[in-house]
């Protein structure tokens, strides 16, 4: 598969993503500078974590106007698979590719720790390798991960099974104590209505190989590769 | 023209910074204080002589970039003197 990792000024998890996809999972992967305007030849793109544009104004608020974001929107609109991790998730929210917005963590602190998330929807192209309800242990590292959306949008997302990850205990119980940042409904990851764009606050690229002592994150990337292979076997029905 | 823009979280959206400051004020003895909201203040010069045009531009800037309409609201003052 040909995968792209977008690099904004201030991205700092792009190399981790490239390492996991290229070295660990042996896929063809390239970095895409934010000034590029074409994603031609790529099967999926990842918006990595970091502090794009220094998080000035609001997280993701300035990155969404980067030249490459026009191409990302176009790519997503024709069904292309887009994964936003942490700051990448924040950028997708600001760009309107995902519903809602991020508020400062309830604790007002930057939180860097392992959390548990339950897989609410294992039928997305990003979670096909997971069992429904499976609990994943993944690291988070953010100050603005307190997800918010209005009631109407939340009920639409629930009806469409767009809530993919919810913070929970190691046993899978979704409790207020297991919510690290105050997110509405313990939400840690969501897709768009079509299911081809996923935003998640935890970092799967930081736990995708044995040497790191945790491989849960690998499931996300393997699911994506599975979904891309499957799509390649089917005749294309979408045209731009 | 000089524009002064205030961006705050919408009423009803929890403002953890505001809450924290409110508690600090209460600790100092200012127990009559409630509903503290923290926001952003921006100033900018706009090379525009017509107030209507300036307002239209300011609104567009706020809607597109300066505020996130999902969580924030804004108000502005335009000073035609400058």
Hey, where are the domains in chain A? 2-233
Task: Please say whether the beta carbons of A39 and A13 come within 8 A.
Answer: no
Digitized pLDDT (tens) for each residue of chain A, 240 residues in all? 899 999 999 999 999 999 999 999 999 999 999 999 999 999 999 999 999 999 999 999 999 999 999 999 999 999 999 999 999 999 999 999 999 999 999 999 999 999 999 999 999 999 999 999 999 999 999 999 999 999 999 999 999 999 999 999 999 999 999 999 999 999 999 999 999 999 999 999 999 999 999 999 999 999 999 999 998 877 655 554
Of B17, B65, B71, the CB nearest to A148: B71
- The active-site residue out of A86, A130, A168, A207 is A86
8 Å CB contact of B14 and A106? yes
Alpha carbons within 13 angstroms on the beta-carbon side of residue A184 total 19
The ipTM of this complex is 0.86
3-state secondary structure of B35: coil
Q: Is A203 a catalytic residue?
A: yes
B13 to chain A: which residues are within 8 Å by CB?
103, 148
Which domains are seen in chain B, by residue range?
A: 2-79 (3.30.1280.10)
Nearest 5°: phi and psi at B53? -65, -40
Task: Please say whether the beta carbons of B7 and B42 come within 8 A.
Answer: yes
Task: Please say whether the beta carbons of B1 and B78 come within 8 A.
Answer: yes
Nearest 5°: phi and psi at A19? -60, -50
Q: Is A13 a catalytic residue?
A: no
Q: What is d(CA B20, CA A163) in angstroms, rounded to the nearest whole number?
A: 30
Question: Which numeric CATH code is attached to A2-233?
Answer: 3.40.50.880
Of A62, A100, A104, the CB nearest to B70: A100
Question: How close A18 comes to chain B (CA, Å)?
Answer: 30
Q: Is A205 a catalytic residue?
A: yes
SS (H, E, C) chain A: CEEEEEECCCECCHHHHHHHHHHHCCCEEEEEECCCCCCCCCCEEEECCECHHHHCCCCCCCHHHCCHHHHHHHHHHCCCEEEEECHHHHHHHHCCCCCCEEECCCCCCCEEEEEEEEECCCCCCCCCCCCCCCEEEEEEEECCCEEECCHHHHHHHHHCCCEEEEEECCCCCCCHHHCCCCCHHHEEEEECCCCCEEEECCCHHHCCEHHHCECCCHHHHHHHHHHHHHHHHCCCCCCC
A108 to chain B: which residues are within 8 Å by CB?
16-17, 20
- The active-site residue out of A13, A94, A120, A203 is A203
Q: What is d(CA B79, CA B82) in angstroms, rounded to the nearest whole number?
A: 7
pLDDT the model gives residue A76: 97
């Amino acid at each position: 598969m040909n995968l792209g990792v977008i690099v904004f000024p201030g991205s700092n998890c792009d190399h981790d993503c490239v390492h996991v996809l290229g070295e660990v999972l042996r896929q063809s992967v390239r970095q895409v500078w934010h000034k590029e305007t074409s994603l031609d030849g790529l099967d999926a793109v990842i918006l990595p974590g970091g502090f794009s544009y220094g998080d000035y104004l609001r997280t993701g608020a300035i990155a969404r106007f980067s030249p490459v974001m026009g191409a990302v929107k176009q790519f997503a609109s024709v069904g292309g698979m887009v994964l936003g991790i942490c700051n990448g998730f924040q950028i997708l929210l600001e760009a309107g590719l995902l519903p809602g917005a991020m508020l400062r963590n309830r604790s007002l602190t930057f939180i860097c720790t392992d959390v548990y998330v339950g897989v609410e929807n294992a039928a997305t192209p990003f979670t096909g390798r997971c069992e429904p309800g499976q609990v994943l242990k993944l690291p988070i590292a953010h100050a603005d991960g307190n997800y918010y959306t209005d009631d109407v949008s939340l009920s639409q997302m629930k009806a469409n099974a767009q809530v993919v990850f919810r913070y929970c205990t190691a046993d899978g119980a979704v409790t207020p104590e297991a919510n690290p940042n105050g997110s509405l409904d313990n939400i840690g990851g969501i897709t768009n209505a079509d299911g081809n764009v996923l935003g998640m606050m935890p970092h799967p690229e930081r736990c995708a190989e044995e040497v790191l002592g945790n491989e849960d994150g690998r499931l996300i990337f393997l699911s994506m590769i599975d979904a891309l292979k499957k799509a390649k076997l089917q005749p294309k029905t979408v045209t731009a | 023209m000089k524009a002064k823009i205030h961006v705050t979280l919408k009423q009803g959206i929890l403002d953890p910074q505001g809450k924290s400051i409110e508690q600090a004020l209460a600790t100092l003895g200012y127990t009559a204080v409630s509903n503290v909201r923290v926001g952003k203040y921006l100033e900018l010069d706009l090379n525009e002589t017509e107030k209507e045009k300036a307002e239209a531009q300011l609104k567009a800037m706020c809607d597109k970039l300066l505020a996130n309409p999902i969580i924030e609201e804004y108000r502005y003052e335009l000073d035609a003197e400058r």
